[in-house]
Each structure stands twice: as structure tokens, then as C-alpha cells.
Chain A
């Protein structure tokens, strides 16, 4: 399958990574070879096979909706690159 630089750039935008021009070149070549390898899965007939997204026969793990201890605001903010009062600070998003 052909992977163009534009495809990689678009996927980079979806993944919120600004890829450099050189990276777009390398990645489009490498992705092509990885996807060609992955294409061997097409040899198998999987029409009647159910997908496995989770390996254990667990379903609907629920808990009581009750108050319990959680991180304090101070601890939650301790690693923030930028904070003010009790908030994370980000660049302005509303004009």
C-alpha cells in the first residue's frame, strides 16, 4: 500500500505531532514496509471469527458510587508546567 507524505502529515495532525519534512519522508517509507508486512493477515479467512478486544471473561466491572479519598488539588497540580491558583494554565483558546 502506498503511503504518501501527505497521508503521514494528516495522521500526524490527528495525533497532534508536528512532524518535520525529513520525518515525513522516513515515516512514509517505513510505514509502507510495516503495513506490507501486516498485510499477510489478509491470507486468513476471518469472516466468521469474533474479535477479541479483551482477554478475560470479565464484564461490567462496577463499584458503589460513594465518596472516597482522591488526590489533593496540591498534589494534582504539583507536576504542572504552568499553574495559577488552583488551575492548569494553557494558551488562550477563546478570542
Chain B
């Protein structure tokens, strides 16, 4: 049996009954990675896989030695963490991120090779990686989405059991949608970001990418919780997210926001989403159209707030404490030359835009105004959640696009996040689950939002829908 194809909960079952050992899973994954990664390129620095000290942890703890794949922006002690950027070449973190500590404490095996991403998570296609693009397992000419495109692709290609990504404007959900896997962005404050290399601190969250909803709940159980090392993490109890799985959704009130069915949405995507909504009605949910009137302002607000925060966060890459250093006569030139050679085009574009938005004379016109419109976007959601349990919409307006199709037009690339950005601005949780395929066999994702800390209801709805349709069982032919 090919263990690499199974889910974590299936493997945990087999480990519990001693049918297999954790090392069997690891060797099955290694074999798959060695045969397929040269096509998919979901992992970077693959030679580190052969590191002799790597062995699966045999454990009585809940995750029982299950291997977990980690995005290249989450610190793993002793394993390179480079944000797929030249400026962090060779960086070996001296500590583990809190999520890594929690995974280890729950008995997981952390893979030493990391998943590919857009440099510093700046992008929607994983084409902005200094290692080159990842290819979508469903069609190798297409992007896997981004920025957690590597994590989504390795899960879809059965080169991983489960993976972690990060989501600042859709970077877990959009690639999950493009690759036909389940991806959750938790509520802002649910998961500690300690050890996540910061992009936009008021938006970033870490979350799981998995083959099904149950695995997502299992991972969320492990990584959630208050952490004194991240003062934005919230000290409220973590429920058992697997408990609501299997509970029916009869009478649940689901809102359908009309602004998410605008012109510009691919007609096949629209059909898949409409069929999914009908399916939810058949499962007993009550659906009703609502309005989130400020939706169209989410992208412009985001590209001010996210770039402003990024320009400040990325000031730390100064060639002094870690990473690349380009030699120069004086300190200022050392900074400027290192940052010119170390950052890729999109990183420079965002740092420049963010610095501009915060600069003297433009702060009020751009940054301050964006923060105010953020308030309006958040209030849209607040008023819908007074009446509804969740919101259902497409994850992205299209399926995976061709590699190279949008690289010359940053604005077109930014617009591929149009349906995912609002959740980050409002701080609410949202998931993408597979909901069908186009004629060209590309996956479509359904997005489910809930109010802050409403992950239980999201997972319940997603699981009920998933089990009624079984789209997640379909595998990419590689």
C-alpha cells in the first residue's frame, strides 16, 4: 500500500493498531518525493532530505510520528528557513517557531526540507521564489497558486501527509483551491506567529493544508492556543475541533454575498459554487443572498496596509545579523547593495510601495484612509454574522492560471486574491474545500467564512459538504 496517499487520521489508525511503523510512512514519502519533486518542485533544497539524522519519531503522542511539511517562512531549528529569498540564503534558525514546538510535542516528525513559496509570501502563484516556480500537480503548465503553493502542491501530489502554510491575503486558501486540497486560515490570534517570519503583522496567520477536513481539524487542535511569545495570540480555550465533525447542518443559516459573483468570475467556477450551495440546501441549510458592500475595496486597502507593514518588517534584513551581505565601503551602501541584490522584483515593488504609502505627505492619503476603509469592510462582516452562522463564496474567481500568464502585470496578479483578502482584513477564519472540477480537470475551491473563533462551525459545514460530495477523493494523475 502507498502510505504517502493516506490522510493523517487514516495513518494514525494504522499506527495505533501497530499495522505500520512511523518509518514506513517516512520512507514512502521519501520515495514519492524523489520520483516526483523534479516535476512538481513543491519542496526546495531537496538534498537535505537525505540528512542522516532524519528518522521518524516513534511516539505514543496524538500525532504518532506523522511527518509534517513546513512552508519556508516558518522557523525550524537547525533546518534552513529562507523564505525562498536570496537575502536569507543559508539561514538556520536558532529556535523553533511555536507551531513547530507544538507539533513536536504532539509527536509529529518535522521534514527537514521546506515547501516552496513566493519570496517572503509576496505573491499568488509561487512564481516569485528564488528557487523558481512550483508546478500544479493537476496540470504542470499551471501555477499552484500562492504564496503557500509548495505546501498545497505537495499535499495534492501525495508528497506530504499534511502541511503548514501562512495566509496574509489568501496564501493558504487560494493555493488550496488551485490544487484541490483543504486549506484553513484561522482567526487572527488563534495560532501563535512566534517564529513565522513576518510579512504583514496585522494580517498574518499560520494554518494547515490537508487532504481532508478531518486532518485539518486534527492539525488545528495541535497548533492553536495562547502563546506569551506572541502578544497578539488570544487567551481563550481551544475546543476539540474534531468534535463537531459529523454533526448535521440542518437549519444552519448560510449567507451568500452577491459581490462574490461579479462579472469576471469564471463561468465554470460559478457553476461549481452554485451546485455546492444547492447541495448545502439539500443537506438542510438555509441560504439567503446578502450584501458585503465594501468588497471591491478589499484589494486596494490590502495593497496599502500589507505593503506598509511589509516595508517595516523587512527592514530587519540589513546584512548584519543573518543572511546575505554584499561588501561595501560604508554601512549605508552595504544595506543598499545587499537589499538590491538580495530581494527579488516583487519584494522590491512591495517595499517601495509600502515605504511610499508611509512617507511624509502621503500617509493620510493612503495609509490612514486604508485603515478607515478596513473598518468598513470589517463592519460588513459583523452585520452579516449577527444573522447568519457562516458565509459561503468562491475562494478564487478562476482556477489555476498558466505559469507566466500574469508575471508582467502585478495588478492582475493582485486581483486573483479578490475573494480571500477580506477575511484577513476582518480577522475572521475561512476555509477552502474542493467543490468540483472544470472540463480541463482543474480543481475549484469553495470558501466558508465564520465570525471570529468560529472555526468549529466552518469545519462542521466543510466536513458535512465534503462527505456528501467526496471531491477530495479525486487524485491528480502524475
User: Which residues on A are within 8 Å of B, measured CB to CB?
Assistant: 7-8, 11-20, 23, 27, 30-31, 33-35, 37-42, 44, 46, 49-56, 58, 61, 63, 71, 75-76, 78-82, 88, 90-93
Q: List 17 A-B contacts (CB under 8 A).
A: A7-B356, A11-B355, A15-B339, A15-B352, A16-B315, A33-B411, A35-B366, A38-B303, A41-B373, A44-B297, A44-B376, A49-B373, A49-B375, A58-B234, A79-B321, A80-B322, A91-B328
Which segment, of B91-99, B175-183, B208-216, faces chain A?
A: B91-99
Name, among A42, A46, A55, A71, the residue most crowded by chain B CB atoms within 10 Å (CB to CB): A55
Q: How far is the CA of A46 from the CA of B297 in the complex (A)?
A: 13
Which 10 pairs across A and B sit closest by C-beta, in order of nearness? Answer: A55-B427, A51-B371, A79-B322, A81-B325, A18-B336, A75-B94, A46-B372, A61-B231, A16-B335, A49-B372
CB-CB under 8 A from B232, the residues of chain A are: 54, 56, 58, 61
Q: How far is the CA of A37 from the CA of B91 in the complex (A)?
A: 37
A19 and B348 in contact, given A38-B303, A49-B375 (Cβ under 8 angstroms): yes
- Judge if B442 is at the interface, Cβ distance under 8 Å: no
Question: Would you list which residues of chain B between 129 and 176 have a CB under 8 Å from chain A?
Answer: none
Q: A-facing mask of B404-418, CB < 8 A → 1, else 0? A: 000000110010000
- Judge if B369 is at the interface, Cβ distance under 8 Å: yes
CB-CB under 8 A from A81, the residues of chain B are: 319-320, 322-325
CB-CB under 8 A from A61, the residues of chain B are: 231-232
User: Which residues on B are within 8 Å of A, measured CB to CB?
Assistant: 90-92, 94-95, 188-189, 202, 228, 231-232, 234, 294, 296-297, 299-301, 303-304, 311, 315, 318-325, 328-337, 339-340, 343, 348-349, 351-353, 355-356, 359, 366, 368-376, 378, 410-411, 414, 425-427, 452
Q: How far is the CA of A55 from the CA of B452 in the complex (A)?
A: 10
A93 and B330 in contact, given A17-B339, A80-B320 (Cβ under 8 angstroms): yes
Q: How far is the CA of A35 from the CA of B353 in the complex (A)?
A: 9
Q: Which of B300, B318, B356, B369 contacts A46 (CB 8 A)?
A: B369
**Nearest-Cβ distance from residue A63 to partner chain B, whole angstroms:** 7
A76 and B324 in contact, given A41-B300, A41-B373, A44-B376 (Cβ under 8 angstroms): no
Q: Which of A27, A51, A54 contacts B368 (CB 8 A)?
A: A51
CB-CB under 8 A from B356, the residues of chain A are: 7, 11, 31
**Nearest-Cβ distance from residue B418 to partner chain A, whole angstroms:** 12
A16 and B339 in contact, given A51-B375, A55-B188 (Cβ under 8 angstroms): yes
Q: How far is the CA of A51 from the CA of B366 in the complex (A)?
A: 12
Q: Which of A17, A51, A63, A75 contacts B348 (CB 8 A)?
A: A17
**Nearest-Cβ distance from residue A95 to partner chain B, whole angstroms:** 10
Q: How far is the CA of A17 from the CA of B314 in the complex (A)?
A: 11
A90-B331 in contact (CB<8A):
yes
**Nearest-Cβ distance from residue B326 to partner chain A, whole angstroms:** 10
CB-CB under 8 A from A7, the residues of chain B are: 356
B322 to chain A: closest residue by CB: A79
B371-A71 in contact (CB<8A):
no
Q: How far is the CA of A44 from the CA of B300 in the complex (A)?
A: 12
Q: How far is the CA of A16 from the CA of B426 in the complex (A)?
A: 32
Q: How far is the CA of A16 from the CA of B312 in the complex (A)?
A: 12
**Nearest-Cβ distance from residue B368 to partner chain A, whole angstroms:** 6
B94-A53 in contact (CB<8A):
no
A88-B348 in contact (CB<8A):
no
**Nearest-Cβ distance from residue A68 to partner chain B, whole angstroms:** 10
Q: How far is the CA of A34 from the CA of B376 in the complex (A)?
A: 22
A27 and B91 in contact, given A81-B323, A88-B321 (Cβ under 8 angstroms): no
Q: How far is the CA of A80 from the CA of B375 in the complex (A)?
A: 41
CB-CB under 8 A from B410, the residues of chain A are: 30, 34
B321-A80 in contact (CB<8A):
yes
**Nearest-Cβ distance from residue B60 to partner chain A, whole angstroms:** 28
A82-B311 in contact (CB<8A):
no
